[in-house]
Structure 1
Amino acid sequence: MITRFPGLTPTRSRAVVHDDLVLTVAVAPDPVTPSMYEQTQKALARIDEGLALCGSGKGKILSAIVYINGMALKSEMNRAWDEWVDRANPPMRACIGVELEPPHIVEIVVTAVK
């Protein structure tokens, strides 16, 4: 069975659960700051909310993909990530440089278990 939690637009889910598998995606909410560190912090806070909505948490993340606009800013994203991540249960993580729709400069996708 698939459970979908509605997002801010009718064509997107905030989070999806299939059996014990949880998937969620987040960007920083508006208004968006130009800081990679702050946008990452806010996106990670939304990840926390999405996981909690599904009965999960950051200690149960299996993998994460972080899309950032400009690899030169990766150290700022890493700083926010390192402050947030559950060090006892660190997930696999990939960081990919892409062009994101402005004003967003970071988008995070996670797969977790309940």
Structure 2
Amino acid sequence: MGEDWPILRSKGVAEGRSSGSAFSSLAFAVATSDDKRVGLEEQAKRCFRKIDGVLADLGTDRRYLLSATVFLSDLRQKARFDDVWNAWVGATPQHWPQRMCIGATLSEGTLVEISVVAAKVKR
């Protein structure tokens, strides 16, 4: 220990918030869709693109996901979300994070919000 680990932050879209941060060997990212007029699948895809960008800013990527928390405005839509999730997370089980889905009251128009934790692997 004794090393000075700087905290990295990825710019957020709202005042007082970051879209991601990293400390030591962990990176954290959160995303909602930038377009609330589109359906669940498109909102999820937009979240994934944002998460990919934030993780890249922080020096990692989705292959190193450890955990994901998915908040759905309508938990009955989980199967629809799972289809988009599976396409994004890929077919390699070694890259699959622990994941949970929670039904939640989200901001107006938001159908999905995703929070992830990833490892930062020395390359």
User: TM-score, normalised to structure 2's length?
Assistant: 0.87
Q: Tell me which residue corresponds to 1:106.
A: 112
Structure 2: runs of 5+ lacking an equivalent: 1-5
| Displacement after TM superposition at 1:33 (Å) | 3.0
Superposed, 1:1-114 pairs within 5 Å as 1-29=6-34, 31-88=35-92, 89-114=95-120
| Displacement after TM superposition at 1:76 (Å) | 1.2
Distance in 1 between residues matched to 2:36 and 2:74, nearest whole Å: 17
- SS of match in other structure, 2:117: strand
| Displacement after TM superposition at 1:99 (Å) | 0.8
- Computing the radius of gyration from Cα coordinates, the structure with the larger value is 2
| Displacement after TM superposition at 1:4 (Å) | 1.6
- SS of match in other structure, 1:55: coil
- SS of match in other structure, 1:83: helix
Distance in 1 between residues matched to 2:83 and 2:51, nearest whole Å: 17
Answer yes or no: is the 8 Å Cα contact 1:8–1:14 preserved in 2: yes
Answer yes or no: is the 8 Å Cα contact 1:64–1:91 preserved in 2: yes
Q: Which runs of 4+ in 1 moved over 3 A?
A: none
Structure 1: runs of 5+ lacking an equivalent: none
Distance in 1 between residues matched to 2:37 and 2:78, nearest whole Å: 16
**Segment of structure 1 superposing worse, 96-105 or 2-11:** 2-11
Equivalent residues, number: 113
Computed over aligned residues only, the root mean square deviation of the Cα atoms, in angstroms, reads 1.1
